[in-house]
Amino acid sequence: MVPMTCIVLYPIAEKLLFDPIHSFYLSGVDTVVIPEGSREGNTLTVPGPFEHTPEDHNIRRVDSGYGPGLTEVPAAVPATHASTSDANNVHNQPEAAVESSGLPVTEPHAETTQTVPDDSQPSFSAFSKYEKLFIVVMVTLASFFSPLSGQIYYPVMPTLVRNYHLTPELINLTVTTYMIFQGLAPSFMGTFTDTGGRRPAYIIAFAVYTAANIGLALQNSFAALLVLRCLQSAGSSGTVAFGYGVIADIATTAERGKYIGPMAAGVMVAPALGPVIGGLLAKFLGWRSVFWFLVIVSGGYLVFYVLAMPETARKIVGNGRAVPNEWWRRSVIQWWSKRQTQSDEEGQISAEGSQQQSPHTKRLRFPNPLRSFAILLEWDALIIISYVGIVMFSNIALLTSTPNLFGPLYGFNELQIGLCFLPLGVSSCLGAVLYGKIIDYNYKRTAQKLGFPVDRKKGDDLRNFPIERTRLQTVFPAMAIGVAAFIPYGWVLQQRVHLAAPLVLQFIIGFCFVASLNCLNTLLVDLFPDKPATAASACNFVRCCLGAVGAAVISQMLSGMGWGWCFVFLGLVMGVGMGLLWVENVYGMGWREKRLLKIEQKKLEKEARATEIQVEGKADGREQKDTNVAVADAGVTGGADTRPNQ
């Protein structure tokens, strides 16, 4: 019901939220006239996005209703620009006729070349459908561990208080430090996995995590418990950011939603299942069994990962065909694939790139956390990450308050309270998986409406595509329903309504929140395709920090504001915060283009410096060679002069 409601709300949101914005934003700007012409090879040259400055108001691409700076290209020829007043006179004229008409032709800031799909181009990913499925399952399982470790710990906290003779405040310190490291650790490991590869990052993370779980199962002091919980958090928390990087490695923009969905499901389902698993283990096997359980599952995962999981980082293996040079980056799958390719008579280097040795070696460097924080300096990333943090603040507040509210209201024990998390967990899983398909459907629908070619095999160039609007179209309906269910949640509990009412609201909230976060995280990966794990680490940092604040202050908010008004306040904050996404919808494409232009400028400057150094090196080499020749000639001449007379 909830997915169908979101689909029905698409056209309403499109008309009410987006069209008035773009009509106002693009008003008063002249058009670009693109004459018809002949195709040259397989290349279409269209003008790039323009700055809306007073000097450039006579130039823009034709508004197709899908964001600032879109072009409807009738033919694949260089665009000729003219003012609106002369548009009718020059439209459909040859380019030479436009030049001879005396109209001013303005050069664009940049030109973007869009290449027609060519079968000779390499595929975006060389992994097969089933290999992709295997990779997604592996990263989904990996993303399950960090939130599971945080929630599975709650049922054993009262036992630890009694065994170690602690106060509740001291045992809560282990939760606070866990969440702090959960936010900080990915800032280091996210940049590491983007530069050093996915496999080394996963192997190091799970080795640390498994070792910490062994220590937690054997420790007998509060100091050891506190330190090992920090180590446990540091090892597991980076896996969520790694997962977004892996999905960006193997999935094109058109299919990214359905792959990110299952991984996001692991992140959101674990908090609901963790208390149930922890409660059952602690009740029947003792509190140490909780940590031994984590040792078994994480150790088993680590062994299977080392044996079977291939390296996917595009900086290391490209589209997946190249085999890494280093042994720790190779899996059994890649080793077997290489062997099969070498024995195949047709396993030669082809245009699509046959399996080959990686041409260079990436050294493992110490990660720089400042790269993750630098993502927050980008306006579009800051808006998306801030709203993700707001939603997570409210979601963690709901999760944290459930044991404290359901116990006194309904007289439930720890196990019964844990079972009350199941509706939220089930709906979170459904929201992540089902809404991922809706995300991909909306991308295809928008592309068809714009005449934008979608290539699921080789990927799409999003520079001239309104990816911000396309993704946000799926966020607004889901968040509207989620906020509408969140606001009355506190009043339902305060009025002591039947248990079914809050559980149904939790189901709706879980579906809508996870669906919205899935869309926003997918958009974040789309905006930073070259460093997705770094961007996800920045998002994880803000998400965990605000989640920790929510867990710390929700008790005071409930007692000070009352149950009903507390959830009303949080719901209104999320509703008002949707205005941030509105701003991203209007200005996001322009911000993205500015960032791309800066990257291109830095790349050109770097290439120019490299060329200059190379030229200077050649000049120095020639000078040194001339000097050596001169010295040799002088030596020969001197030798001739000093020879004795015969």
Using one digit for the tens of pLDDT, what is the confidence trace for 624-637?
666 666 666 665 55
At residue 638 the predicted structure's pLDDT band, cuts being 50, 70 and 90, is: low
At residue 479 the predicted structure's pLDDT band, cuts being 50, 70 and 90, is: very high
556 and 493, same domain (yes or no): yes
The mean pLDDT value for 263-274 works out to: 76
Instruction: Indicate the residue among 115, 144, 179 that finishes a domain.
Output: 115
Using the predicted structure, report yes or no on whether residue 283 has a pLDDT greater than 60: yes
Residue 633 lies in a domain: no
110 and 134, same domain (yes or no): no
Least confident of 87-96, 327-336, 391-400, 444-453: 87-96
C-alpha to C-alpha distance for 174 and 176, rounded to whole angstroms = 6
104 and 150, same domain (yes or no): no
Least confident of 144-158, 263-277, 420-434, 552-566: 263-277
Evaluated on CA atoms 462, 466, 471, 474, the torsion sign reads negative
> Could you tell me the two tokens for 188?
């280091």
Using CA atoms in the order 137, 539, 510, 423, what is the torsion angle rounded to 10 degrees? Answer: 50
Of the ranges 370-379, 403-412, 416-425, 561-570, which is most confident? 561-570
At residue 555 the predicted structure's pLDDT band, cuts being 50, 70 and 90, is: confident
C-alpha to C-alpha distance for 171 and 252, rounded to whole angstroms = 45
Largest pairwise CA distance in the chain: 126
Q: How many domains are there within the chain?
A: 2
Residue 559 lies in a domain: yes
Using the predicted structure, report yes or no on whether residue 155 has a pLDDT greater than 70: yes
Amino acid identity, residue 633? D
133 and 110, same domain (yes or no): no
Using the predicted structure, report yes or no on whether residue 383 has a pLDDT greater than 90: yes
Residue 616 lies in a domain: no
105 and 139, same domain (yes or no): no
C-alpha to C-alpha distance for 57 and 578, rounded to whole angstroms = 30
Whose CA is closest to 590, among 33, 145, 60, 2?
A: 60
Residue 618 lies in a domain: no
Q: What is the CATH number of the domain that holds 236?
A: 1.20.1250.20
C-alpha to C-alpha distance for 246 and 134, rounded to whole angstroms = 12
Q: Is 382 exposed, middle or buried (0-12, 13-18, 19+ CB in 10 A)?
A: middle
508 and 590, same domain (yes or no): yes
What's the domain range around 449? 129-341+369-599
At residue 491 the predicted structure's pLDDT band, cuts being 50, 70 and 90, is: very high
pLDDT digits (tens, 9 = 90+) for 2-27: 444 544 454 444 454 444 434 433 33
Whose CA is closest to 592, among 40, 204, 49?
A: 49
Residue 121 lies in a domain: no
CB 218 within 8 A of CB 167: no
State the pLDDT at residue 632.
Answer: 63
Higher pLDDT, 366 or 546: 546
What residues have CB less than 8 Å from 578, skipping those under 6 apart? 387, 476, 479, 480
Residue 264 lies in a domain: yes
Evaluated on CA atoms 221, 272, 285, 208, the torsion sign reads negative
Cβ neighbours of 89 (radius 10 Å): 12
135 and 101, same domain (yes or no): no
CB 376 within 8 A of CB 541: no
Mean pLDDT of the chain: 74
Instruction: Indicate the residue among 115, 144, 165 that finishes a domain.
Output: 115
pLDDT digits (tens, 9 = 90+) for 187-238: 777 677 777 788 888 999 999 999 999 999 999 999 999 999 999 998 988 8
Identify the DSSP state of 163: H
Using the predicted structure, report yes or no on whether residue 85 has a pLDDT greater than 50: no
C-alpha to C-alpha distance for 396 and 394, rounded to whole angstroms = 6
375 and 304, same domain (yes or no): yes
At residue 621 the predicted structure's pLDDT band, cuts being 50, 70 and 90, is: low
C-alpha to C-alpha distance for 139 and 265, rounded to whole angstroms = 11
> Could you tell me the two tokens for 466?
């309104």
310 and 400, same domain (yes or no): yes
160 and 22, same domain (yes or no): no
Least confident of 97-111, 141-155, 498-512: 97-111
24 and 159, same domain (yes or no): no
State the pLDDT at residue 59.
Answer: 35
CB 265 within 8 A of CB 432: yes
253 and 140, same domain (yes or no): yes
